[in-house]
Amino acid sequence: MKNARFGRAVAVSEPQIVPVHLLEDPDLLCLLAHWEKLKAARPPGQLPLRAVASAEIARLLKYTHLCDVIDNGADFRFRIVGIAAFPNFENLAGKLVSEHPDAGARHRFPILMREVVRTREPVRGLSLRQTEHGSYKFESIWLPFGTGNVQQILGLLTAISRED
């Protein structure tokens, strides 16, 4: 379902923040395992971005987006956006998350990313995306990067089922 065409949200719902250890999607698990490996190899609280890209996760990078944290989570700016992260939208690199053209992303992403800023730990989100093409259940992972405070967040969303 990763290549399915999803339209713009027609309804906005709150995301659920659920325990990371309950991740189901293999791609999200792969990205989390990579982050945990990076974390274990560095001093506490130091995860520089340059360590993100590797052969282990190369196939996932086109679906990820990296955001800079602005004013401790007041907003977030898309720094790097994979070519398949938002397939039906223009390139969002350089734009604020609050400017995302999709109301669902504009609403849910900041909630999940602020939790990452608050906890300085990975966050797993579940959400229902209602579009003109149907309703989809999404699972996502949000990973903190930075030295000391969370300065950047890497996100990956995957559709896990279609709600009919």
pLDDT in tens, 67-100: 999 999 999 999 999 988 887 778 899 999 999 9
Does residue 45 carry a pLDDT above 50? Answer: yes
Contact indicator for 38, 47 with CB cutoff of 8 Å: yes
Helices (H) then strands (E): counts for the chain: 2, 8
For the chain, domains (ranges, CATH) are 9-163 (3.30.450.20)
Name the pLDDT band for 8 (thresholds 50, 70, 90): low
Taking the model in full, what pTM does it have? 0.88
